[in-house]
Structure 1
Amino acid sequence: MKKIFWSFIALIGVIQACRTPYDPEVPTSQSSFLVVEGYLDSEGLRSELKLSRSAAVDSESAFQPESGALVTLMSASGETIGLPESESGTYIFESDISEDQTYTLEIVLQNGQRYQSTPMKPILTPEIIDAGYQLDEEGVEIYISTQGDETADDFLWTFEETWIYRPRIRLGYIYDPIIENVRDRTEAEQIELCFKTEPSPDILLETSSRFEEQVVFRQTITEIPKGDERIMERYSILVSQKAIEEDAVRFWEILKKNTEDIGSIFSPLPSLITGNILRMDGGDTPVVGQVSIGVVRQTRLYINLVDVSPWNYLDPEFNDCVIGQEVVMTNAYAGVFGSGGTLPARAYIPEGGTTVIGYFPASRRCADCTLYASSIKPDFWEDE
């Protein structure tokens, strides 16, 4: 969700349909304010609360993590639970709490500024009834179905995608400067199998009372166009379903409109986005944020290339990736392969011979998947 939050910060920029650039004068005191975002799972599922600072309109970097804060969840009965910081600006909640109580989130920054949420009561999110995908001539549509009730009418969905990423050229050799020769790669050195992970870029909302018996049938979560990189081999998506309160719906709807209409002078301005976080120490610096508590329902799907073939994935960025035709001989290994920019791709054994006397080369950018993804297999990953 980090990308979503910062897209609206950039909306005060060049206004579409204007002939001259719009260069607003924004008071310095209003150019940096706290941004809070999170959905805390009440049954112990690891949840993240994000704290950050907005940036000035002309800043090159919009996301500025707010580190070193003291974050505490307090129940109406007096119980307190701290949220430790796992990385800069990210605070972790992993507690199974009672859904019968109300809770308040308190944030104290390093500079002494104090913020607090309005009282929140956990929402029991209904189960996901069904999840699947539909293949058509345009690609794959991933969907889920659920049913709301009297306590959970509005839903927010997020997802995380992970897929196998392969380089255009696959090789199993490496130049070892210690022995000044080429050898087989070990499993730890392999660069032909990687995993890419991306969070959901969109805000997905729906109200179940708009439908008969509050059944949300085949809600579209995401669409993958035919030939997309994500299903080059094996793809997985983790969908999280979260029931949210009515006030949270208004916040997310305004934010969704801002992110979809960036650049329009008629769009709701960021000043209209408040949420349920308030400053408690008398300061007038704005705060933007929405925190909810409830049960998060999740489901994971896998899609294999064979399930959607013919897929015809081809990345034009690597169209020039070929194995070189000129053999790199033994005495040239250090000069050609030593820098790491060129890799030994295929062994050369002269006709009638039995010994490797050189290697055909390939560019690292064409053969090393770690330049684009991680070679570490995720803990959740299931092979076919």
Structure 2
Amino acid sequence: MKGRGFIFAFLPLLLTTCIDPFDIGDVVNGQPRLVVDGLLTNQPQAHEVRISYSSPTLNTFDREVVSGADVFIEDENGSQVSLIEDTEREGVYLTPSNFAGTVGVTYTLRVRTAENVSYRSLPEMMRPVAEIDSIYAELDSRQSLSSLGTLLNNWGMQFYVSTGTGTPESNFYQWKWEETYQFTAPLAREDQIIQPICYQSGRQFNQLLIGSSQDFSQDRIGRQPITFVSKNTYKLQQRYSLLVKQLSLSERAFNFWSDVEVQRDTDGSLFDPPPSQIIGNMVRDDDPEDIVLGYFQVSAVTEQRFFITRAEVPASPGGPIGGFSSCVESSEPPADGNNGESSGGPDDGPPDFCYDCTLIQGTTTERPSFW
């Protein structure tokens, strides 16, 4: 389906973007191929370009970073900005920290390896992006299998975005998100005078969210799913914040990520198309037939932050917000991957993180500036 309101992709591909890790098919006739992955936006920051060689085997972890390359971005007027290799991450090249692209300007990424082989991207224009109209959340459920093999309804809040310019012209979008949530430990000792307030943050991982208004009479996308947060975690215990970033895509970039999504959905039957490399917008200067993997993406960005409190999360259906069942049932760390540190066993009473949330990995007591 060419045009769609939204596309989800959880991708086992070798491409690792500057913001979110992906993979891209790295077996091309058994030969390692250059993989270039970069994102330039109109936000002033150090933009990253990652360069590596793909694995010649099915082992996608066996990659060789490309160090010592000359990397620069050139605009349509011939102005160039050089990227410097990160001193702590080989193969990662950074623009100056205050560099930003300009909407309406076309950019080309150029790479010359230490072996004096030159590559370039096809020109990519930074398209404008619509403002986000709204972010909202609705109570919803997801089915999961219990340990006994029965289907369970996992209730939580599904977050959506509505956006678009409302004009007849079609546009192409990508969404990225970051979450921050406030919580406290559920228990307090008799001698505990102050119970710390903790904050944790996270972002999407191995997830691609893209959409277009190609099949619509106007550029308007409603109910674009962003992320689902279960009530069985402590993310919704007090206050939850979701920062959504909306990026413009060129039609070529949208088609690239759509192809990635289609190949990811292939189930491997005899009637499926054979797996193939997904060619992006990078080419080798002296050999256009040489296959180069990856994509240099140029996007304008707009963003909006949304807050929801515990009082706004319905208690039914699905019951009240949980996330600390281990503090009552066992000494196992909390669910949803937010592990706590415990010094006691099941016979020693609740683990220490049940009284002090700062003992849970990844927490901080520093209140975010936007809170």
After TM superposition, the score normalised by the length of structure 2 is 0.69
Listed one character per residue, the Cα deviations across residues 258-296 of structure 1 (whole Å, up to 9, x for unaligned) are: 334465666566633011011224497632212222311
Shift of the 27–8 alpha-carbon distance from structure 1 to 2, 3 Å rule, reads closer
Q: What residue in structure 2 maps to residue 142 of structure 1? A: 159
Aligned to 1:259, the other structure's residue is in SS state helix
Worse overlay, 230-239 or 143-152:
143-152
| Structure-to-structure mapping, 1:166-177, within 5 angstroms | none
| Structure-to-structure mapping, 1:31-70, within 5 angstroms | 32-44=32-44, 47-55=47-55, 57=57, 59=59, 61=61, 66-70=66-70
Correspondence for 2:127 among 95, 112, 123? 123
Given that 1:193 and 1:369 are in contact with CA atoms closer than 8 Å, whether structure 2 keeps it comes out as yes
Given that 1:342 and 1:362 are in contact with CA atoms closer than 8 Å, whether structure 2 keeps it comes out as no
Q: 1 CA distance for matches of 2:10 and 2:94?
A: 19
Aligned length: 317
Counterpart code for 1:91: Y
Q: Tell me whether 1:314 sits opposite 2:303 in the alignment.
A: no
| Structure-to-structure mapping, 1:287-306, within 5 angstroms | 287-306=292-311
Structure 2 gaps, min length 5: 1-8, 16-26, 142-154, 333-340
Given that 2:14 and 2:60 are in contact with CA atoms closer than 8 Å, whether structure 1 keeps it comes out as no
Aligned to 2:331, the other structure's residue is in SS state coil
Deviation at 1:142, TM superposition (A): 1.1
Shift of the 304–290 alpha-carbon distance from structure 1 to 2, 3 Å rule, reads same
Q: What residue in structure 2 maps to residue 243 of structure 1? A: 248
Shift of the 243–268 alpha-carbon distance from structure 1 to 2, 3 Å rule, reads farther
Correspondence for 2:93 among 91, 94, 100? 91
Counterpart code for 2:137: Y
Q: 2 CA distance for matches of 1:312 and 1:100?
A: 46
Deviation at 1:146, TM superposition (A): 1.5
Deviation at 1:152, TM superposition (A): 5.6
| Structure-to-structure mapping, 1:340-359, within 5 angstroms | 342=343
Counterpart code for 1:146: T
Q: Tell me whether 1:105 sits opposite 2:115 in the alignment.
A: no
Q: 2 CA distance for matches of 1:262 and 1:90?
A: 33
Q: What residue in structure 1 maps to residue 361 of structure 2? A: 372
Q: Tell me whether 1:160 sits opposite 2:170 in the alignment.
A: no
Shift of the 341–222 alpha-carbon distance from structure 1 to 2, 3 Å rule, reads closer
Aligned to 1:214, the other structure's residue is in SS state coil
Listed one character per residue, the Cα deviations across residues 112-165 of structure 1 (whole Å, up to 9, x for unaligned) are: 443210012211112112222223463212111122456661112122223346
Q: What residue in structure 2 maps to residue 80 of structure 1? A: 80
Counterpart code for 1:375: T
After TM superposition, the score normalised by the length of structure 1 is 0.67
Q: 1 CA distance for matches of 2:196 and 2:290?
A: 49
Given that 1:74 and 1:81 are in contact with CA atoms closer than 8 Å, whether structure 2 keeps it comes out as yes
Aligned-residue sequence identity (percent) comes to: 24
Q: Tell me whether 1:114 sits opposite 2:113 in the alignment.
A: no
Shift of the 27–203 alpha-carbon distance from structure 1 to 2, 3 Å rule, reads closer
Deviation at 1:74, TM superposition (A): 0.7
Q: 2 CA distance for matches of 1:254 and 1:341?
A: 45
Counterpart code for 2:321: N
Shift of the 218–55 alpha-carbon distance from structure 1 to 2, 3 Å rule, reads same
Shift of the 56–84 alpha-carbon distance from structure 1 to 2, 3 Å rule, reads same
Structure 1 gaps, min length 5: 11-25, 174-183, 323-339, 344-359
Deviation at 1:251, TM superposition (A): 0.8
Determine which structure has the larger helix proportion and give its number: 1
Aligned to 1:252, the other structure's residue is in SS state helix
Shift of the 362–227 alpha-carbon distance from structure 1 to 2, 3 Å rule, reads closer
Deviation at 1:205, TM superposition (A): 1.9
Given that 2:170 and 2:212 are in contact with CA atoms closer than 8 Å, whether structure 1 keeps it comes out as no
Shift of the 39–56 alpha-carbon distance from structure 1 to 2, 3 Å rule, reads same
Aligned to 2:124, the other structure's residue is in SS state coil
Counterpart code for 1:254: D
| Structure-to-structure mapping, 1:315-330, within 5 angstroms | 319-321=329-331
Q: What residue in structure 1 maps to residue 218 of structure 2? A: 213
Q: What residue in structure 2 maps to residue 349 of structure 1? A: none
Shift of the 95–151 alpha-carbon distance from structure 1 to 2, 3 Å rule, reads farther
Q: CA RMSD in A?
A: 4.0
Structure number with bigger Rg: 1
Shift of the 377–280 alpha-carbon distance from structure 1 to 2, 3 Å rule, reads farther
